[in-house]
Amino acid sequence: MVERAGSGAVAAETSVVPGVGQRRRGWVIAGVAVVLGGVLGFHRLLPNWPGQVGSLIESFLPWGGVLVVVLLVVALVRRSAVALVALLLPVGVWVDTFGGLLLPGEGGDGRELVVVQHNVSDENRDPAGTARALIGSGADLVALEELVDPQVAVYEKSLAADYPHHVVRGTVGLWSKHPLSGEQVVDIKPPSIEEGWSRGVRAVVHSPYGDVAAYVAHLPSVRVGVGGLASQRRDESASLLGRAIAGESVEAVVLLGDLNGVVEDRGLRPLTSQLSFAETGFAFSFPAAFPVVRIDQVMARSATVGHIRTLPATGSDHLPVVARVALE
């Protein structure tokens, strides 16, 4: 009698424990979902220390959608209703923030410029082939970074017939189908970088739809290490570029460049606070072999950047990005 009672007690215990564990696992998944939703929706409130952690998280925010899918699969396997309900939060925030980028681009009203932005890489072994690929885009404007000798001469020769107007300053350049004027260097050099570093240029494009001040920039690189994200120089350069654009006398502005940051990154706030960016398209551009972020950007003032997309790989470690800029 005693043994049977004991066996019944054990059986009762084992029948209850799995349910308790399952409920606990459901609440854990729900908790993770709520935290993820908070990060996606309120990433600006995250501290940027230590190691620029805020900027680091913001660099990969779109990939939060993958975490949502993983949590959804786990919740379904666990058959946890509370986890599924909690997942509505990150799903809603992600769709509200990034869902529009999945929509197809709409046709423009005709008052638009097609622009291409490409870091061609100073180690590109086929600059002529890269130039041909960019010409094939049919762009009105082509912005290039990491222009070095003797490659720059190849680009000038290869692009000359289709883009008769161009300017190169330092390691950045702009090629245009329309006349240019007012070409000048834009000083975006952080104080800690030695003299001779030149990665900014500005010119006025006399388009059929009016004058546009075009800026081409290549901000300093960032590094991810054990100490976090090293982006101080990039952030300083972004501030200098932001001041230059804020003081621009031409109303319509387009910025093309390798900004070494995504538009969600707070380090680019001096730019994103005054310029609009792509309404649709993810266009992950780096690294070319397996793109995970878009650090090649097209931004504008008094104009709308429409759908942005990537072009096929060239000899660079970046993919070219192409976008339509509709003038107001």
Digit-coded pLDDT (tens) for 11-66:
444 444 555 555 677 899 999 999 999 999 998 888 878 778 889 899 889 999 99
Is 75 a residue whose pLDDT tops 70? yes
Is 250 a residue whose pLDDT tops 50? yes
Q: Using alpha carbons, select from 140, 113, 20 the residue that is nearest to residue 306.
A: 113
Is 70 a residue whose pLDDT tops 90? yes
**Average pLDDT in the 62-79 region?**
92
Q: Using alpha carbons, select from 214, 203, 261, 253 the residue that is nearest to residue 236.
A: 261
238 vs 243: CA distance, rounded Å: 9
Q: Tell me, what's the pLDDT at 2?
A: 46
Strand partners, 245: none
**Average pLDDT in the 156-173 region?**
98
198 vs 196: CA distance, rounded Å: 6
What does DSSP say about strands 112-119 and 141-145: parallel, antiparallel, or unpaired?
A: parallel
Is 316 a residue whose pLDDT tops 70? yes
Q: Tell me, what's the pLDDT at 14?
A: 45
Mean pLDDT, rounded, of the chain: 91
Q: Which residue has the tokens 């622009």?
A: 115
Angle CA 22–28–34, to nearest 5: 140
Residue type, 61: L
Percent helix, strand, coil in the chain (nearest 5)? 40, 25, 35
Structural domains of the chain, ranges and CATH numbers in brackets: 2-101 (no CATH), 106-327 (3.60.10.10)
Q: Tell me, what's the pLDDT at 10?
A: 46
Q: Give first-to-last CA distance, the chain, whole Å.
A: 89
- Residue 19 burial by Cβ neighbours in a 10 Å radius (0-12, 13-18, 19+): exposed
Q: Tell me, what's the pLDDT at 277?
A: 96
Q: Tell me, what's the pLDDT at 26?
A: 85
- Taking only the tens place, the pLDDT of each residue in 258-281 is 999 999 999 999 999 999 999 799
Q: Tell me, what's the pLDDT at 53?
A: 86
193 vs 189: CA distance, rounded Å: 7
Q: Which residue has the tokens 């380090």?
A: 267
Query: Binning pLDDT at 50, 70 and 90, where does residue 118 land?
Result: very high
**Average pLDDT in the 67-81 region?**
92
Q: Tell me, what's the pLDDT at 257?
A: 98
**Average pLDDT in the 134-146 region?**
98
DSSP secondary structure code for residue 290 in this structure: S
235 vs 265: CA distance, rounded Å: 10
Q: Using alpha carbons, select from 307, 180, 322, 199 the residue that is nearest to residue 259.
A: 199
269 vs 241: CA distance, rounded Å: 11
What pTM does this model have? 0.86
106 vs 47: CA distance, rounded Å: 37
